[in-house]
Structure 1
Amino acid sequence: MKSQTIEGELTIYTAATEKQSLMNFLDTDSELELNLSQVSEMDTAGLQILILMKNEARRQGKVLRYVMHSKPVLEILEMTNVTTSFGDQIILT
């Protein structure tokens, strides 16, 4: 299993760069883990990237897990009511 951490913002200002980086990451293995603990800010553009990544992983028959959700990530997931939609375990600290 290959793992990667997103650091900093996952917002409209970083979406294009992050999307390309994450799409490249998706090509590296069939089982992937994306650590979200270092995401300092996230908006709906960031959420769209996470949704896109999950859908693309499923389309390719790959497993993609989101782990270690930071507070900004959890806030956006809760605000948009998609906390359980990804199927990843969320541990509240």
Structure 2
Amino acid sequence: MMSAYWIAHVTVTDPEAYAGYQALAPAAFAKYGAEFLARGGASETFEGAPYQRHVIIRFADLATARACYQSPEYQQAWQHRLGACDAHVLIVEGV
């Protein structure tokens, strides 16, 4: 089984609304065994659009990462993120 990584680049535009996402999303990540490798912290953008936050989360495999994103728990959290941030989110299989 090959690990998969959820990579998100986020700039929060409405902190109050985004707080709802932050309150609910951890339940989905815990349910699917997510391991945070990077979350926020100092960063530098060398190419492309700059974002405020960068997150890298490891999952057991691609199917588990996808299941987390599509889960009712995460989708409920995601509703709070709509309009509260500019985000680029992807899932990639490890090597």
Structure of greater relative contact order (alpha carbons < 8 Å, 6+ residues apart): 2
Could you say whether these structures have the same fold, taking a TM-score greater than 0.5 normalized by the shorter chain as the test? no
Larger radius of gyration: 2
**Structure 1 length as normaliser, TM-score?**
0.29
